[in-house]
Amino acid sequence: MKKICVYCGSNPGKRPEYKAAAGFLAKELLSRKIGLVYGGAHVGIMGEIADRVLKGGGEVTGIMPQALVDREVSHTGLTELIIVKSMHERKAMMANLSDGFIALPGGLGTVEELFEVLTWAQLGFHTKPCGLLNAGGYYDHLSAFLDHTVAEGFVKDAHRSMLIVEKDPIKLLDRFIDYTPPLVSKWIGRENT
């Protein structure tokens, strides 16, 4: 893996564990010589992970739509800042440049971005690993909800299991390396589609 895309909050959150997790993940990316791809802001957890990777001598690519450059305050010290026209272009470029996707704690934008790549994986549009870095148990309720989607017959267990959930970035990235995408149809009871 050469580049990992990290989705995370443009706010710092209330608990110190969230920023700390960005630091732990940055350290692990650096030790494995994996570059960071992210949304390009210098605020919140986004700014924290970019700063930590840059301080350690790593490569950081930020991708931001023009409309957000001023509002999200783009990071001025990145290895590369790519300005695109739209949010859709941003997400497509982040996905294309990366070999895997991790969500750190974050808000609506973070969840939206992660779930988009996860649904693309479910449809077989890509075979890259997706994971949650569950710092401080932030994503416990989301994980429980995903179990509920399986129990209620809306998602196959094989697809729910595509989302790798770990608290430790070392374990998460080790599981990324071993990841094998499921080869099953999205639709329950229609195995040939």
Q: Which of 54, 73, 87, 150 binds ligand AMP (CB under 6 A)?
A: 87
Interior CA angle at 172 toward 157 and 49, to 5°? 125
Give the rounded distance of the alpha carbon of 31 from its chain centre: 19
Encoded tokens for 2:
């050469």
Considering only 74-82, 108-116, 132-140, 163-171, which stretch makes contact with ligand AMP by CB under 6 A? 108-116
Q: Binding of ligand AMP at residue 48 (CB under 6 A)?
A: no
Considering only 3-11, 23-31, 146-154, 174-182, which stretch makes contact with ligand AMP by CB under 6 A? 3-11
Residues near ligand AMP (CB under 6 A), total = 16
CB closer to ligand AMP, 117 vs 156 = 117
CB of 35: closest distance to ligand AMP in angstroms?
Answer: 18
Binding site for ligand AMP (CB under 6 A): 9-11, 39, 41, 68, 72, 87, 91, 106-110, 112-113
